[in-house]
Amino acid sequence: VEVRGAAKEKYYVAYHKPIGIVTHSPTEHEQGIADVYHFKAPLAPMGRLDKDSHGLIILTNDGRVTGPLLDAAEGHEKEYYVKVDGPVRPGFLARLSEGIELENNVQTKPAKVKRMGERAFSIVLTEGKRHEIRRMCAAFDYRVLELCRTRIMDIRLGSIKPGEGRALTAAEQVKFLAALGIKGVEEN
């Protein structure tokens, strides 16, 4: 007879991944999130941010989150601030908002795009192709100088400094799990 104890406590952390830190599987000469951020329980990053990008990533020990959060078919929004190496030309943002074809016939989904300055814009994606924003910008001869994820669904980076994190509030947890179609911890 198997006797089960109390369910393991679930943690959800909004973390600001710094530039230079690898999200998954760092090599011998790289640092991963676990090397620079210590929490009271082992946490795994949900999704990726490339080494040269910074910003919001959700850390959790709740494996139920992975599939629903990362499935592009679910359409969960992720917002980014992007700074490029030249003035944003007329029509560039409009083309990004429609979705564009990248190399090898890869098509991006339409995105919400907003100018944030002469050389900067925000973009909201509902998919996560590898280096998608950098590739989209390169298709128009822009080089990305800064790429920061500022929001995942309703969770915002806010004033969290690089290398720091904060536990999601109880209200944020409830809303986050409900949006992913996950029942609360007590119903595991």
| Closest by CA position to 125, among listed 180, 80, 157 | 80
| Closest by CA position to 48, among listed 37, 36, 32, 29 | 32
In sequence order, what are the beta bridge partners of 60?
12, 44
* Pair 146, 83: CB distance under 8 Å: yes
Catalytic-residue membership of 50: yes
Catalytic residue among 35, 50, 52, 141: 50
* Pair 43, 22: CB distance under 8 Å: no
**Residues with active-site annotation:** 50
